[in-house]
Chains A and B, each alone.
Chain A
């Protein structure tokens, strides 16, 4: 059973940076990719970024492109999201999720970490 645990959330001023982490534990089997998804307060789900299992490819939502960077360290079973130039509209619960099949469904989710961008 794969288990994902996010950390690193908090309150940060606009324009500042924050790095989120997601530790993967348990039997992982085949991982096709890892994602970050966010949910602003009272809103729906917004996909943020994906990274391939070997880190060879990354894709981003337009809303974060150029500001956020997804990365992974497979030796530490950890996924990261470096968030720079944060804006108030980045305030959300951030979830990491894993695709374990070939169809890019989000098969396993963490419990989420909250990021609040406020002065």
Chain B
């Protein structure tokens, strides 16, 4: 199985900060990497697919990059509604696997 390692597991940031979350795959997954946002008590929501494809309705302050084994999710200017947990997920092969999550908290 492909292991997905996210870093950090949690971070504290202020509104307006630039935040970067990394995701590393245990083997190459080309660009088959997706990012999700989950707020407490809610289902996850797809933010970015195929490493860098922003989903319709997702603010442009979110961006994704990377290929192969290393990927990043960047929030250019953190907003109050962005405080949540973020997960990466590889869709290169089954079993599909998620990273452990990054909880973004208010500083």
Contact = CB atoms under 8 A, between A and B. Distances in A.
Nearest to A101: B49
A45 interface: yes
B66 interface: no
A89 interface: no
Interface stretch (B13-21, B69-77, B90-98): B90-98
Task: From A35, A45, A109, name the one whose CB has the most chain B CB atoms within 10 angstroms.
Answer: A45
Contacts of A47: 89, 95-98
| Interface range for B | 20 to 34
Given A101-B49, A103-B50, A62 B95 contact: yes
A105 B34 contact: yes
Given A105-B49, A106-B34, A106-B36, A59 B94 contact: yes
B43 A105 contact: no
A95 interface: yes
Contacts of A105: 34, 46, 49-50, 89, 91
Secondary structure at the A interface, as helix, strand, loop or mixed, is loop
A60 B95 CA distance: 7
Contacts of B89: 45, 47, 105-106
Contacts of B49: 101, 103, 105, 107
Contact of B32 (A37, A59, A104, A109): A104
A112 B89 CA distance: 19
B44 interface: yes
Closest 8 CB pairs of A and B: A104-B91, A105-B49, A59-B94, A109-B43, A47-B96, A105-B34, A45-B98, A44-B101
Interface of A: 35, 37, 44-47, 50, 59-62, 95, 101, 103-107, 109-112
Given A35-B96, A44-B99, 4 more contacts: A46-B98, A103-B50, A105-B49, A106-B89
Interface of B: 1, 32, 34, 36, 38, 43-46, 49-50, 55, 87, 89, 91, 94-101
